[in-house]
Each structure stands twice: as C-alpha cells, then as structure tokens.
Amino acid sequence: MADLSNRLSENVEGEYYVDDQCIACGVCVGEAPENFEMGSDYAYVIKQPENEEEQEACQNALEACPVDAIGNDS
C-alpha cells in the first residue's frame, strides 16, 4: 500500500498520489492517461479525477499497480 509520507512532490494536490515505491512500469499511464504522467524515473499524478470516468480510471490504475505505489487519500 502506498505511503502518504513518501508521496512524490511532482503529484498535484488531491486524493490520488504516487509514492517513492514506483518502478516506472507505465501501468497507471495506460489505465488513466489523463491523470498520470511518466517521468524519467517514476510516474506521478498530473490531474485529479474530475468525473466518474476519470475516477474509475484512477481506481483501476491503483488496483493494477504491481508495487502498490498509488495511494488514494480519501
């Protein structure tokens, strides 16, 4: 499970975030391309979900993350 205290600074403020356990696999970007972006070493949240479709995509990304690096602080 992602750790809020290890949240990456590149994440925009809000409920979803990526922590420092990210291995840059790209699964989250594939699941929610409107909300996640891949950096050189890890992914991060570029936009919090603004509708039901994006909320579902972000939740799918969280569930698909192989190292549990995505958190939902809601």
Residue ranges per structural domain of the chain: 4-72
pLDDT at 41: 95
pLDDT at 7: 97
d(Cα 56, Cα 8) in Å, to the nearest integer? Answer: 22
Q: Which CATH architecture has domain 4-72?
A: 2-Layer Sandwich (3.30)
Of 8, 4, 6, 14, the C-alpha closest to 35 is 14
Predicted model pTM: 0.95
Of 37, 22, 15, 27, the C-alpha closest to 61 is 27
Mean pLDDT per 10-residue segment, the chain (74 residues): 96 98 98 97 98 98 98 88
CB 65 within 8 A of CB 24: no
